[in-house]
Amino acid sequence: MRQRREFLARLAAAAVAAGFPAYGLADSDRRGTTSGGSGSTAIALPTTGLAGRVVVVGGGMAGASVAKFLRLWGGANVKVTIVEKEPRYISNILSNLVLTDTVTMAALQFEYTTLKSAYGIEVIQGTALAADPTGGRLTISTASGPRTLDFDRLVVAPGIDFEYPAGLETPAARAAIVHAWQAGPETLTLRSQIRAMPVGGVFVMTVPATPFRCPPGPYERACVVADWLKRNRPGSKVIVLDANPAIAAERTSFERAFSVTHAGIIQYVPNAPVDFVDVGTRTIHTPMGAFRGDAVNVIPTNIGPALLRDLGIANAPRGFAAVNVLDYQSTATDRIHVIGDSSSTTQPKAGHIGNQEGKVCADAILRAFGGGLPDPSPVTNSSCYSPITLSTASWLSAVFAYDPLTKTMQIVPGASGEATRANSEHFKDMQVWFGTLMRDTFA
Ligand SMILES: Cc1cc2nc3c(=O)[nH]c(=O)nc-3n(C[C@H](O)[C@H](O)[C@H](O)COP(=O)(O)OP(=O)(O)OC[C@H]3O[C@@H](n4cnc5c(N)ncnc54)[C@H](O)[C@@H]3O)c2cc1C
């Protein structure tokens, strides 16, 4: 217990390191804290002497974070606009628990109200289409027609897209067999499909090849669905078809969960990439055999969104964007920064990391507006809680620091760790962590 408290204290220190930049502000001018919580009243932004225009594409975990901290640290003359295609954000984090009715969809919805009214961020509902980095112009489509927005810096944070396997080419096939890897209507479809399973039924799910968003996420999904089936559809099975040779995250925790906690229910099959999905018979064909389910969940290969290709910055494997992790500027072009799941770094594709990258990026842009260079030694941290049953969870945390030799973010030895056992205390901590992270991002 003492060890864990010390570990969490180290993490808190790392979070502060990523959370408070130095622009020569007096302490009294640093109005932001990592808990935000300003409601809808406009907050008094600091006077920094900095000025510039930043357009952010995507109001998710990374985009909302960079927008908020640009204003909070940069002050009123740093104009920030978010272009987001959806009217509100639905959190992927905790969305596996919607499948089991432990969490409601309503609890995962976040409005842009506070970013607008408290921080003075302009939020435009629209879709980014193209950009001219040299001229500093972004073209977007909106319900009322196309628009162009001028920027000094463009931050791109559109998350991920999917490369579907054979058999899931058509919209009808994709409506029948969903991934629910972007929380929203598909989450509710999958929930209904699990509910429609008979007693003694089979749930088949797939895990894509790495890298994918939320490395523990698919294994966590297998665990909570197994626990729900145990209680509500006795005799049922969960088959996990993993494209990878082994569990890709929190291996010790999930091996124990699969072989002890959910023994006889979860069947784990490694080296099983999807060859073909037969939608009619709900059968998944893999090199390890064909697996038929009463409910089937295919999580396709995660790829960079088409927007990255359209902007000419999809220069990392699978169409993600290579970046300089000191400022998250694209290595393909100046003035465009890429954060969150769209960027290719040594850090996991996770919401907590998206929030941290947003802060490092905001800090670097503000330093550039002041004529300076990025912080040469950024530190980020990521925590991930994984429910193992409907009332217990495990956790994994990592601190990353910039390594000037490899020019990458590397795990800090001794400052990272994972839970030795899943328990109900960690499940409660998970709810506190989620609330804090989402307030830090949207409030
Ligand atoms: C089931 C599940 C569980 C997870 N659990 C955890 C967890 O416990 N901890 C954790 O840290 N992470 C977790 N994650 C991962 C986390 O949700 C993602 O890593 C995170 O959301 C990435 O943030 P982002 O800002 O890059 O992308 P997103 O949060 O997906 O935001 C991207 C935004 O961009 C918008 N957009 C896309 N294209 C355009 C465009 N052209 N124009 C305008 N807007 C656009 C989208 O509408 C979206 O709002 C989980 C993910 C899943 C699927």
Range of the domain at 198: 163-302
pLDDT (tens digit per residue) in 239-292: 999 999 999 999 999 999 999 999 999 999 999 999 999 999 999 999 999 999
Q: Are residues 135 and 194 in the same domain?
A: no
Give Cα 357 to chain centroid, integer Å.
Answer: 11
Residue 405 lies in a domain: no
CB 194 within 8 A of CB 237: no
Q: Are residues 211 and 317 in the same domain?
A: no
What pLDDT sits at residue 417?
86
The helix (run of H) or strand (run of E) holding residue 3 is helix 2-19
Residue whose CB lies within 8 A of the most ligand 1 atoms, among 123, 125, 341, 356, for a mutation test:
341
What's the alpha-carbon Rg for the chain, to the nearest Å? Answer: 22
Tokens of 158: 């559109």
User: Distance between CA atoms of 382 and 93, rounded to whole angstroms?
Assistant: 13
Query: Is the CB of residue 241 below 6 angstroms from any atom belonging to ligand 1?
Result: no
Tell me which amino acid residue 366 is: L
Residue 429 lies in a domain: no
Query: Is the CB of residue 208 below 6 angstroms from any atom belonging to ligand 1?
Result: no
Query: Is the CB of residue 89 below 6 angstroms from any atom belonging to ligand 1?
Result: yes
Q: Are residues 96 and 37 in the same domain?
A: yes
Q: Which atom of ligand 1 is nearest to the CA of 218?
A: 1
CATH of the domain at 30: 3.50.50.60
Longest dimension (CA), the chain: 66
Residue 380 lies in a domain: no
Separation of 109 CA from ligand 1 center, angstroms?
Answer: 13
Q: Which atom of ligand 1 is nearest to the CA of 127?
A: 42
Q: Strand, coil or helix: what is 224? A: helix
Nearest-CA residue for ligand 1 atom 38 is 158
Residue 439 lies in a domain: no
Separation of 157 CA from ligand 1 center, angstroms?
Answer: 9
Of 375, 407, 437, the one marking the end of a domain is 375
Query: Is the CB of residue 304 below 6 angstroms from any atom belonging to ligand 1?
Result: no
Q: Which atom of ligand 1 is nearest to the CA of 126?
A: 43
Nearest-CA residue for ligand 1 atom 4 is 93
Residue 415 lies in a domain: no
Tokens of 234: 């006795």
Query: Is the CB of residue 340 below 6 angstroms from any atom belonging to ligand 1?
Result: yes
Residue at token pair 């809680």:
385
pLDDT tens, residue order, the chain (443 aa)? 334 443 443 343 334 333 333 332 222 222 233 334 455 789 999 999 999 999 999 999 999 999 999 999 999 999 999 999 999 999 999 999 999 999 999 999 999 999 999 999 999 999 999 999 999 999 999 999 999 999 999 999 999 999 999 999 999 999 999 999 999 999 999 999 999 999 999 999 999 999 999 999 999 999 999 999 999 999 999 999 999 999 999 999 999 999 999 999 999 999 999 999 999 999 999 999 999 999 999 999 999 999 999 999 999 999 999 999 999 999 999 999 999 999 999 999 999 999 999 999 999 999 999 999 999 999 999 988 999 999 999 999 999 999 999 999 999 988 888 898 999 999 999 999 999 999 999 99
User: Distance between CA atoms of 225 and 273, rounded to whole angstroms?
Assistant: 21
Q: Are residues 167 and 285 in the same domain?
A: yes
Q: Are residues 147 and 178 in the same domain?
A: no
Residue 436 lies in a domain: no
**pTM recorded for the entire structure:** 0.92
Phi, psi of 115 (to 5 degrees): -60, -35
The helix (run of H) or strand (run of E) holding residue 370 is none
Query: Is the CB of residue 181 below 6 angstroms from any atom belonging to ligand 1?
Result: yes
Q: Are residues 266 and 197 in the same domain?
A: yes
Nearest of 86, 94, 43 to residue 68 by alpha carbon: 43
Nearest of 219, 262, 267, 265 to residue 239 by alpha carbon: 267
Separation of 240 CA from ligand 1 center, angstroms?
Answer: 23
What pLDDT sits at residue 416?
85
What pLDDT sits at residue 39?
59
Q: Strand, coil or helix: what is 10? A: helix
Residue 4 lies in a domain: no
Please give the full DSSP string across 285-349, using - where no structure is assigned: EETTEEEE-SEEE--PEEE--HHHHHTT---SGGG-EEEETTTTEESSSTTEEE-GGGEE-SS-S
What pLDDT sits at residue 2?
39
Q: Are residues 156 and 189 in the same domain?
A: no
What pLDDT sits at residue 34?
33
Tokens of 243: 């494209």
Query: Is the CB of residue 213 below 6 angstroms from any atom belonging to ligand 1?
Result: yes
Q: Are residues 322 and 351 in the same domain?
A: yes
Residue 232 lies in a domain: yes
Q: Are residues 172 and 291 in the same domain?
A: yes
| Kind of pairing between the strands at 379-387 and 393-403 | antiparallel
Of 302, 322, 341, the one marking the end of a domain is 302
Q: Are residues 42 and 104 in the same domain?
A: yes
Separation of 181 CA from ligand 1 center, angstroms?
Answer: 9
Q: Which atom of ligand 1 is nearest to the CA of 58?
A: 34
Count up the domains in the chain and report the number.
Answer: 2
Nearest-CA residue for ligand 1 atom 23 is 61
Of 302, 326, 344, the one marking the end of a domain is 302
Q: Are residues 87 and 100 in the same domain?
A: yes
Query: Is the CB of residue 302 below 6 angstroms from any atom belonging to ligand 1?
Result: no
Task: Please list the alpha-helical segments (H only) found in 75-139.
Answer: 113-117
Q: Are residues 32 and 93 in the same domain?
A: yes
